Amino acid sequence: MPRPPVLPTIDWSSVFEAGQDYSAWIESAESAEHRSRMQQALADLPLHPATEAFLKALPRVVHIISIAEDWCGDVVRHVPALMRLAQASDKVRVRFITREQNKEVFARFLTNGGEAIPKFVFLSDQWVECGNWGPMPEEHRRIISRGKAAGKGGEARKRVSALYDADPHCEATTRELLTLIETASATEP
């Protein structure tokens, strides 16, 4: 049996340090409308007190590399949810990179073989990759995949749009991101 190709090792610390923090990233947004929508969404997103307490009590730092570009509707929707969680804890640290900046990083996180953003890569305080998320919640990805398989991509996108409308505070996204934050900050298996 042939050996699988070996992916090059990524220096996650260097990738993180080369990324932009949220303030620089949002200020560099190409679309003033999308910048405004993200800033408003971030300001408006509620955070449940139990979630806030969980985030304040994280035992270890979590690094998150966000592959995101402001032209994308899913980025506009999900980056504020990520940043709302990050604002609640000094142990959740986020940096933004683009697909073009780090092609070797993005190539690892294709969605069904295609380029889809955002992608959030979760790393422990020791720069160990602990999971990734994106470009949308799991149930939404499943609907899109099933729609493509059935030759009904348009219907699938309509269903996902209805799910987004029914979840104005990005609760599905928040639940999944919290699970990854918990994993990356774990002190026990």
Task: Give, in words, the CATH class of 12-135+170-184.
Answer: alpha beta
What does the pLDDT look like over 87-124, one tens digit per residue? 999 999 999 999 998 899 999 998 888 899 999 999 99
Give the H or E element holding residue 171: helix 171-184
* AA identity, residue 133: W
d(C-alpha 18, C-alpha 98), whole Å? 11
Report the relative pairing of strands 92-97 and 62-67 from DSSP bridges: parallel
Summarised one tens digit per residue, pLDDT across range 160-179 is 999 999 999 999 999 999 99
For residue 7, what pLDDT band results from cuts at 50, 70 and 90?
A: confident
Per-residue pLDDT, 57: 97
Residue pair 125/11 in contact (Cβ under 8 Å)? The answer is no
Report yes or no: 92 and 86 within 8 Å, Cβ to Cβ. Answer: yes
Q: What is this structure's pTM? A: 0.94
- Interval 26-79: pLDDT, tens: 999 999 999 999 999 999 999 999 999 999 999 999 999 999 999 999 999 999
CA 71 to chain centre: 15
Q: Residue 62's beta-bridge partner residues?
A: 92
Closest CA to 20 of 59, 62, 81, 64: 64
Rounded CA separation 118/74 (Å): 7
Q: Where do the domains of the chain lie?
A: 12-135+170-184
Ordered strands of the 62-67 beta sheet: 92-97, 62-67, 119-123, 129-133
Mean pLDDT over each residue of the chain, to the nearest integer: 95
**pLDDT, position 1:** 67
Residue 137 · residue 173 · CB < 8 Å: yes
